[in-house]
Amino acid sequence: MFRARPEARPATIPVLVEGAEILVPDGTSAAAALLLAGLPAIRETPVTGSPRLPLCQMGVCFDCLATIDGVPNRQACMVPVAPGMRIERQHGAREPAA
Ligand code: FES
């Protein structure tokens, strides 16, 4: 369903998505890295457990909440990737970061 545009920059930045290393173009958001990893969902809602994928890609819908470098509840679409970044799916509600 999702794939990189043909004119996208070369994938040179290594990130870990659910523990698996993938390469993404510089400037990619963590949400886009999750989509490029091909996951069927990146989080589940706390109440019904419905699967979610990033939708708006601009910080409005909160369907991209993920754990990034150990910090839960990050809006992955608002976080640019960095080499070695760890991006993990979020299952249900998380406690706020201390
Ligand atoms: S995709 Fe909507 S807030 Fe991130």
**Which atom of ligand 1 is the closest one to the Cα of 55?**
1
Interval 10-56: pLDDT, tens = 989 999 999 999 999 999 999 999 999 998 888 888 888 889 999 99
pLDDT grade, residue 1 (50/70/90)? low
Query: What's the topology of domain 12-91?
Result: Ubiquitin-like (UB roll) (3.10.20)
Query: What's the 68 CA to ligand 1 centre distance in angstroms?
Result: 14
Exposed, middle or buried, 12 (CB in 10 Å: 0-12/13-18/19+)?
A: exposed
| 8 Å CB contact between 69 and 81 | no
Cβ atoms within 10 Å, residue 73: 16
**Which atom of ligand 1 is the closest one to the Cα of 61?**
2
Instruction: Kindly list the domain boundaries of the chain, sorted by start residue.
Output: 12-91
pLDDT grade, residue 74 (50/70/90)? very high
- Do the strands 65-68 and 51-52 form a parallel or antiparallel pair, or are they unpaired? unpaired
User: When comparing pLDDT for 5 and 16, which is higher?
Assistant: 16
User: To the nearest 5 percent, what fractions of the chain are helix, strand and coil?
Assistant: 10, 35, 55
